[in-house]
Amino acid sequence: MKAQILGNVQDGGVPHLGCECDVCETARENPAERKLISSVMLKQSSDQESATYLIDATPDIRNQIGTRYIDGVFIPLATLGHITGLEFFGPEGPDATELSVYCSSDVQEYMMENDPYRLLIDRDTVETHTVKQGDAVEIQGGSVEIMNFYHGHVNYQTTGYMVHGQSRKLFFLDDIMEFTEEIKDAIRKADVALVDGTFWSTEEIDRYEEVPHPPIRRSLDQLQGIDTDIYFTHMNHTNPVLREDSEERQEVKERGFNVAERGHEFNL
Ligand SMILES: [Zn+2]
Ligand SMILES: [Zn+2]
């Protein structure tokens, strides 16, 4: 199985609405510099026709999957960058039939109580499958183990995924408040991990307290010594690691960590 990174920035995207920073302005001027919202594609092989699953349905989905047929989508939480992409499968788009959506009972309840997701369920555009801690969803080429963690900010559980390929395991959890011991244990069990790198520091934006995420500067210390290839993803537009020539990016590399880049593929 292959896991391909489809995007590496947080829910609000790059360019970010209303922002005139040079990362956002450069992205407006040059489409090649645009950054897409954090998501991963799991595919059985490089073959265009092979079974394909997504983790996260982002509002950038049209530019992430193109013409590829999607067999199922894993939705970890019901916020802007993680669920709204499902709307593009509806009647205004390809009008899918019974697209499999794997989510927690919290997310399923949210979808059943709120339009437009209720409408997608009512008209059979999507078919939800609730998954819980420890479940393994068999997909072609491997399986996806469900690991739930308390999110804190959205006040319900968020789902992390341990993707088991034939030879390697990838752990994905891109939107959290802090690296708890449970999360660190999950990272240790994987060969590769894609984890929350929203901010570099807590001083990066004025309203950090309203949208807390573990700052990479602190995470480098907390995750140091774990023998797993760790990639930071879900970066905010203000995060200096998005700039290839930044000192912060250099520090991430020197300390043995990585920054997720769209297009990068892992063989699992
Ligand atoms: Zn997010
Ligand atoms: Zn910006």
Query: Tens digits of per-residue pLDDT, 70-85?
Result: 999 999 999 999 999 9
pLDDT for position 225:
94
Domain count of the fold of the chain: 1
% of the chain exceeding 70 in pLDDT: 98
pLDDT band (50, 70, 90) for residue 49: confident
* Distance, CA of 209 to CA of 201 (rounded, Å): 12
Q: Compute the average pLDDT of residues 158-176.
A: 96
Residue 111 burial by Cβ neighbours in a 10 Å radius (0-12, 13-18, 19+): buried
pLDDT band (50, 70, 90) for residue 153: low
Q: Determine the distance separating the centroid of ligand 2 and the alpha carbon of 36, expressed in angstroms.
A: 13
pLDDT for position 48:
80
Q: Determine the distance separating the centroid of ligand 2 and the alpha carbon of 34, expressed in angstroms.
A: 11
Q: Determine the distance separating the centroid of ligand 1 and the alpha carbon of 213, expressed in angstroms.
A: 10
Q: Compute the average pLDDT of residues 175-192.
A: 95
* Distance, CA of 123 to CA of 135 (rounded, Å): 27
Q: Which of 134, 135, 83, 88 shows the shortest CA–CA distance to 109?
A: 83
Q: Determine the distance separating the centroid of ligand 2 and the alpha carbon of 246, expressed in angstroms.
A: 15
pLDDT higher than threshold 80 for residue 243 = yes
Q: Determine the distance separating the centroid of ligand 1 and the alpha carbon of 128, expressed in angstroms.
A: 21
Q: Determine the distance separating the centroid of ligand 1 and the alpha carbon of 198, expressed in angstroms.
A: 9
Three-class SS of residue 32?
helix
pTM comes to 0.95
Q: Which residue has the higher pLDDT, 229 or 158?
A: 229
Q: Compute the average pLDDT of residues 124-138.
A: 97
Q: What range does the domain containing 259 cover?
A: 2-267
pLDDT for position 217:
96
pLDDT band (50, 70, 90) for residue 197: very high
All residues with CB under 5 Å from ion ligand 1: 11, 81, 175
Q: Label the pairing between strands 157-164 and 192-196.
A: unpaired
Three-class SS of residue 142?
strand
Q: Compute the average pLDDT of residues 51-76.
A: 96
pLDDT higher than threshold 80 for residue 135 = yes
pLDDT for position 207:
83
Q: Determine the distance separating the centroid of ligand 1 and the alpha carbon of 181, expressed in angstroms.
A: 21
Give the ligand at the shortest distance from the Cα of 57. 1
pLDDT band (50, 70, 90) for residue 203: confident
CATH number, domain containing residue 11: 3.60.15.10
pLDDT higher than threshold 70 for residue 155 = no
Quote the mean pLDDT of the chain: 94
DSSP H helices, the chain, are 22-29, 62-65, 80-83, 105-113, 117-122, 181-189, 216-223, 247-254
